[in-house]
Amino acid sequence: MIDIALLRAQPDLVRGNLTKKFQEHKLPLVDEALSLDDRRRALQTEGDALRASRNALSKQIGQLMREKNTEEAARVKAQVAEDAERLAAIEAESAEVAERLKAVMMRIPNIISPETPIGRDDSENVERCRFLEPKVPDFEVPYHLDILERLAGIDIDSARRTSGQGFYYLTGDVARLHSAVLTYARDFMIDKGFTYCIPPFMIRSEVVSGVMSFEEMEGMMYKIEGEDLYLIGTSEHSMIGRFMNTTLEESQLPLTLTSYSPCFRKERGAHGIEERGVYRIHQFEKQEMIVICKPEESEAWYEKMWNYTVELFVSMGIPVRTLECCSGDLADLKYRSVDVEAWSPRQKKYFEVGSCSNLTDAQARRLGIRYKGKDGSHFAHTLNNTVVAPPRMLIAFVENHLRADGSVEIPPVLQKYMGGKTEISAK
């Protein structure tokens, strides 16, 4: 949510931002917000004047009563009663207008970074850099589901019977590999100075509306029937919500946290051959990183965070590239975002395995996350980034480490988490 003061001072900047994000249908929201803000401020002015008048008249009544001027005192009391009735009406309308203004402001997207390329969708994201040379082996790389089945590591059919489409069982060494990668990612981030957390896996609607837009919520979140609770789509949701309505000390910042959680997503509209298997699923696990910092530090943290993900994948021998997300591909609360994509030897192209985002103060304004500095209280900046998210990572892993005989090599950094194993053999 942007600052209302920015909207008042630079409405054309906000309109231009909507145009850059190809959300022209939201342009009327700018005038609606300005109109509601004007009304709210007018009501505030009128209410303040009535309160001041009430105080003055109350003193006047006391003086008149001491002078035994009961007739004039009665007239002034009648005026006080009339003003009190009007003040009650003002307070009721003010609350209604403030609620409507908040609802409108929450639909206006965050101002995007000057570094963000302008484009309609992810097809217009811009490549930044590549790490490790992508390779294609001299043998055919099977579809990832076939590789995992030959390793006796996945059971999709049973999951369809127990849970439906979009679920899976991982078994044996593949399940162990899945856990090994998460444990390695946890230790990797702890070594970077991040504090390890396991958050709640359900959050209230107040937190949901604070961390994402209404459109995202509808497309992602599972609602718990009969409860004001949602299953988290990523641990960012509950990790940021932890600091709701909190004022931190400046000395506490930056907060650098890494969290593990299962994630639950509807994944509506997921279709196509490359979205079968375990690419798009309703349940997965993830290691995440969260930073809460001062505004002047957020861009430096943004660069550090995506570089940590790159470093992790490179250490496992998986080639990756980074893409700067274009304006039309940014969720409404995001100022800037970069996707990390891993190389697929089978498809001979890259695919997304993580995303790093700077949301500036958009989430902090919605949730009331502040810090107290020498010159007063300020909204903090929030950032999030995927460290690693199996099983999508497993696709990149098994394709890049597949051998001609069907076995999969375990890189040195993971071997201690796999009990010393150097490979997973085909069954």
Which amino acid belongs to residue 84? Answer: A
Q: Are residues 98 and 136 in the same domain?
A: no
How far is Cα 150 from Cα 172, in angstroms, rounded to an integer? 12
How far is Cα 217 from Cα 155, in angstroms, rounded to an integer? 30
Asked if residue 33 belongs to a domain, the reply is yes
Residue 188 tokens read as 């990797």
Q: Are residues 409 and 360 in the same domain?
A: yes
How far is Cα 354 from Cα 351, in angstroms, rounded to an integer? 9
Q: Are residues 133 and 263 in the same domain?
A: yes
CATH, residue 79:
1.10.287.40
Q: Which of residues 47, 71, 105 is at a domain's end?
A: 105
Helix (H, G, I), strand (E, B) or coil at 70: helix
Q: Are residues 208 and 323 in the same domain?
A: yes
Check residue 272 and give its pLDDT: 46
Alpha carbon distances (Å) from 282 to 39, 118, 165, 286: 45, 31, 8, 13
Q: Which of residues 105, 130, 162 is at a domain's end?
A: 105
Residue 255 tokens read as 């907060």
Is residue 324 within 8 Å of 347, Cβ to Cβ? no
Alpha carbon distances (Å) from 35 to 12, 29, 104, 108: 15, 10, 11, 15
How far is Cα 157 from Cα 415, in angstroms, rounded to an integer? 30
Which amino acid belongs to residue 367? Answer: L
Which amino acid belongs to residue 149? Answer: E
Asked if residue 188 belongs to a domain, the reply is yes
Is residue 210 within 8 Å of 239, Cβ to Cβ? no
The label of the residue with tokens 């930044």 reads 128
How far is Cα 247 from Cα 328, in angstroms, rounded to an integer? 33
Per-residue confidence in pLDDT tens, the chain, 427 aa: 899 999 999 999 999 999 999 999 999 999 999 999 999 999 999 999 998 888 888 788 888 888 888 888 888 888 888 888 999 999 999 999 999 999 999 999 999 999 999 999 999 999 999 999 999 999 999 999 999 999 999 999 999 999 998 899 999 999 999 999 999 999 999 999 999 999 999 999 999 999 988 777 877 899 999 999 999 999 999 999 999 999 999 999 999 999 999 999 987 555 444 556 888 889 999 999 999 999 999 999 999 999 999 999 999 999 999 999 999 999 999 999 999 999 999 999 999 999 999 999 999 999 999 999 889 999 999 999 999 998 889 999 999 999 999 999 999 999 999 999 999 999 8
Q: Are residues 163 and 98 in the same domain?
A: no
Question: Cα 166–167–173 angle (5° rounding)?
Answer: 135
The label of the residue with tokens 């001062």 reads 294
The residues, ordered by sequence, that sit 6+ positions from 192 with a Cβ below 8 Å of its Cβ are: 256, 308
How far is Cα 260 from Cα 83, in angstroms, rounded to an integer? 57
When divided into structural domains, the chain yields a total of 2
Closest CA to 60 of 52, 368, 357: 52
Q: Is the peptide bond before 254 cis (omega within 30 degrees of 0)?
A: yes
Asked if residue 95 belongs to a domain, the reply is yes
Q: Are residues 263 and 158 in the same domain?
A: yes
Other CB atoms within 10 Å distance of the CB of residue 161:
9
CATH, residue 128:
3.30.930.10
Length of the chain: 427
How far is Cα 276 from Cα 392, in angstroms, rounded to an integer? 11
Range(s) of the domain holding residue 412: 122-424
Check residue 64 and give its pLDDT: 81
Asked if residue 383 belongs to a domain, the reply is yes
How far is Cα 307 from Cα 382, in angstroms, rounded to an integer? 17
Closest CA to 392 of 281, 279, 304: 279
Q: Which of residues 105, 133, 159 is at a domain's end?
A: 105
Asked if residue 117 belongs to a domain, the reply is no
Q: Are residues 206 and 296 in the same domain?
A: yes
Q: Are residues 130 and 9 in the same domain?
A: no
CA 16 to mean position of chain CA atoms: 23
Q: Are residues 131 and 94 in the same domain?
A: no
Q: Are residues 376 and 231 in the same domain?
A: yes
Asked if residue 115 belongs to a domain, the reply is no
H-state helical runs in 221-258: 235-241
Alpha carbon distances (Å) from 350 to 156, 339, 343, 387, 400: 25, 11, 4, 17, 12
Q: Are residues 95 and 188 in the same domain?
A: no
Q: Are residues 147 and 36 in the same domain?
A: no
Is residue 173 within 8 Å of 424, Cβ to Cβ? yes
Asked if residue 142 belongs to a domain, the reply is yes
Asked if residue 50 belongs to a domain, the reply is yes
The label of the residue with tokens 């009406």 reads 89
